Amino acid sequence: MWHITKREIYDNLNSLRFALTTVLLLALMLTNAIVHLREHPNRVEKYNKAVTAYQNRLASYANESLYLLAQQGPGDLHKKPSPLHFCAEGGDSFLSGTVNAGDPFGYSEDMTGVWKLSYPSVTPNLENVRPDAIKLDWGFIIGYVLSLVALLFTFDIISGERERGTLRLMLANAIPRHTVLIGKFLGALISVSIPFMLSVLMNLLVISTASNLHLNAEAWGRLGIIFFISILYMSLFLVLGLLVSTRVRQSAVSLVVLLLVWVTLVVFMPNTLASMTGEFSPSMLSGEFWKRYRQLHQELDEKYEDRVWTDESDTKTLTARSEYFAKHAALDERLNEDRLSLQIDQFRHARSIIRVSPVTIVQHLLESFAGTGFERHLQFVENTQRYALQFREFIVDADRADPESLHLIGVREGMSEKPVSPKSVPKFEDTLNLNEDFNTTAMELLLLVLFVMVLMSAAYLAFVRVEV
């Protein structure tokens, strides 16, 4: 078997396609690295500035009074940019980098409610009049270019030998057919891996030499997983090439078939299916949302109208006010969350359908492990929700510690107005969880492995039964 593999590799190393692949992948990977070097420091700087602003705001309110902190909330919470942004851009420009935890409603200084969570959306393409492009990340290079290259390396792997008549020669020896198949597969795998690894190495070398970009141990671990996934994805297309090459007599026809399959599978299926399901599945229109918003708020307001809007400031009014403010914020938050989850469901639905295409599987996997994209955004949203709970608990606890306070959150007269130490206020820190990434991607990882296995056995069956 090793002989077959070795021969295959030597054959490939001298070929034109090997040289072209190396040049192409190197050019792409180097561009990717340079773009990352140029853009990533800006991203990090922007994030750091935003975090400093957030902490300063928090500290200034804490130094003022606990009441102000309870009213104004923590402010904008920011998503931490991933150091592995170059692996998968993941449409990050379409996902908001912030969740707003602040912005209390207010009529006057005394009648100001408490903060709430809201999820702003971004629409960068409203202002953008540039031609559309896919970002040149690893997801693109692996998903599109590497898969095409894998097909170009395998389309004549069996049919070529058959055309030249060497297959008959080889099978005349006492080698089991599966050994031939595996040997050929390994040969192709190694020959495609060489330019790929070379370009990845160059890419990482350029990125890691920059002093202002630091990849920690976890990031390297994630890169390892990403590399493993790309090899798996690559072997999927190698096996596909092997299968078609076994079934088809002429190598030219085999390439034509493979290319047409590739175009449908990789380029069109994801987009067409996504827009199909995206269009057809229901969603809440903004008009309906605002109608419901107004209606529920009107109901709430009517319930509290006569108890809240008085000039008295006895305990009863204050209690009613505190209750009203809390309910108002909770209602806002619930509506925002409902809307967000509807949007997420619609998007998820569309996304689960397009999993029939391996390229979307691999891009989702890369996104998840690079810490960008949609799943990451959901993790970020969850983090902010957890933090919001923590922050509310802190306010209640800190208020309880003050004996003079009436423990009515959100009302000036009913709450502790002492300053609190900024250090004791919980700070939001956006984190990435590798375990969670594995959980969310397990399904997709399994699908990818299944794809490879099914194609592999199909190729085996086809090759065993083929007549030479």
| 292 sits near other proteins (criterion: CB under 8 A) | no
Minimal distance, residue 373 CB to other proteins, in Å: 8
C-beta of 120 vs 221, nearer to other proteins: 120
CA 238 to chain centre: 26
Question: Which of 76-84, 255-263, 297-305, 460-468 is the region at the interface with other proteins (rule: CB under 8 A)?
Answer: 255-263
- Residue from 56, 275, 295, 424 touching other proteins (CB under 8 A): that is 275
| 202 sits near other proteins (criterion: CB under 8 A) | no
Give the residue carrying structure tokens 């078939």.
Answer: 257
Tokens standing for residue 446: 């399994």
- Residue from 157, 320, 350, 448 touching other proteins (CB under 8 A): that is 350
C-beta of 131 vs 403, nearer to other proteins: 131
| 263 sits near other proteins (criterion: CB under 8 A) | yes
C-beta of 74 vs 371, nearer to other proteins: 371
| 20 sits near other proteins (criterion: CB under 8 A) | yes
- Residue from 347, 394, 413, 462 touching other proteins (CB under 8 A): that is 347
**Helix spans in 77-176 (H):** 124-127, 138-140, 147-154, 159-164, 166-172
Minimal distance, residue 310 CB to other proteins, in Å: 23
Contact of 240 with 265, CB cutoff 8 Å:
no
C-beta of 135 vs 418, nearer to other proteins: 135
Query: How many residues are present in the chain?
Result: 468
Minimal distance, residue 460 CB to other proteins, in Å: 25
Subset of residues 86 to 145 that bind other proteins, contact rule: CB under 8 A: 91, 94-95, 121-123, 125-136, 140, 144-145
Instruction: Count the residues of the shown chain that bind other proteins, applying the rule CB under 8 A.
Output: 66
Q: What are the CB-based long-range contacts (under 8 Å, 24+) for 224-230? A: 225/369, 226/84, 226/87, 226/138, 226/365, 226/366, 226/369, 226/370, 227/200, 229/362, 229/365, 229/366, 229/369, 229/445, 229/448, 230/138, 230/142, 230/146, 230/196, 230/362, 230/366
**Helix spans in 354-433 (H):** 358-370, 373-400
Contact of 33 with 207, CB cutoff 8 Å:
yes
- Taking the C-alpha atoms of residue 104 and residue 112, their distance in angstroms, rounded to an integer, is 7
Minimal distance, residue 451 CB to other proteins, in Å: 21
C-beta of 121 vs 179, nearer to other proteins: 121
- Taking the C-alpha atoms of residue 96 and residue 93, their distance in angstroms, rounded to an integer, is 7
The contact pattern for other proteins, residues 368-407, with x = CB under 8 A and - = no contact, is ------x---------------------------------
- Residue from 268, 298, 305, 457 touching other proteins (CB under 8 A): that is 268
| 278 sits near other proteins (criterion: CB under 8 A) | yes
Three-state secondary structure call for residue 102: strand
What is the C-alpha end-to-end distance of the chain, expressed in Å? Answer: 19
Minimal distance, residue 158 CB to other proteins, in Å: 14
Phi, psi (rounded to 5 degrees) for 371: 75, 40
Q: Which residues partner with 99 through β-bridges? A: 77
Question: Which of 1-9, 321-329, 344-352, 453-461 is the region at the interface with other proteins (rule: CB under 8 A)?
Answer: 344-352
Handedness of CA 459, 465, 466, 468 (dihedral sign): positive
- Residue from 53, 169, 201, 276 touching other proteins (CB under 8 A): that is 276
Three-state secondary structure call for residue 218: helix
Minimal distance, residue 196 CB to other proteins, in Å: 15
C-beta of 129 vs 174, nearer to other proteins: 129
Contact of 168 with 468, CB cutoff 8 Å:
yes
CA 106 to chain centre: 36
Question: Which of 64-72, 275-283, 299-307, 399-407 is the region at the interface with other proteins (rule: CB under 8 A)?
Answer: 275-283
Contacts with other proteins, residue ranges (CB under 8 A): 16-17, 20, 24, 27-28, 31, 34-35, 38-39, 91, 94-95, 121-123, 125-136, 140, 144-145, 148, 152, 156, 160, 251-253, 255-257, 259-260, 263-264, 267-268, 271-272, 274-276, 278-280, 283-286, 343-344, 346-347, 350, 374
